[in-house]
């Protein structure tokens, strides 16, 4: 498990950005330790890294939320996710 600061260092992002993503519901099922501090597992870290990629592709917060909802649907939503990415990065998906 990783603390917020450890994730921030690992992904070269600010504490405020990670806190914002969590507060906006972009990191699903965030766990908390005994002191009520957010903690993250490998799956969370991978997802947060994906969020940084979506941001670099030009996704808005609302689009990131839509993408998250599709991801939570599983493999049945691969095509719509691919279409979302293609709209942001034509010719690269």
**Domain assignment present for 57:** yes
Q: For position 12, which CATH number holds?
A: 1.10.1660.10
The pLDDT, as a whole number, for residue 88 is 83
Is pLDDT above 90 for 65?
yes
The pLDDT, as a whole number, for residue 92 is 60
**Domain assignment present for 73:** yes
**Domain assignment present for 93:** no
For residue 61, give its domain range: 2-88
**Domain assignment present for 41:** yes
pTM: 0.83
Q: Contact 82/93 with Cβ under 8 angstroms?
A: yes
Domain tally, the chain: 1
DSSP-derived secondary structure for the chain: -EEHHHHHHHHT--HHHHHHHHHTT-STT-EE-TTS-EEE-HHHHHHHHHHHHHHHTT--HHHHHHHHHHHHTGGGGHHHHHHHHHHHSTT--
**Domain assignment present for 60:** yes
The pLDDT, as a whole number, for residue 90 is 65
**Domain assignment present for 43:** yes
């Amino acid at each position: 498990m990783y603390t917020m600061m450890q994730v921030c260092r690992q992904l070269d992002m600010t504490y405020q950005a990670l806190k914002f993503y969590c507060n906006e519901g972009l990191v699903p099922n965030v766990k908390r330790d005994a002191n009520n501090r957010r903690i993250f597992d490998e799956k969370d870290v991978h997802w947060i890294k994906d969020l940084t990629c979506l941001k670099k592709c030009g996704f808005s917060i609302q689009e990131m939320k839509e993408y998250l909802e599709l991801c939570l649907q599983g493999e049945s939503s691969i095509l719509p996710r691919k279409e979302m990415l293609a709209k942001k990065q034509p010719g690269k998906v």
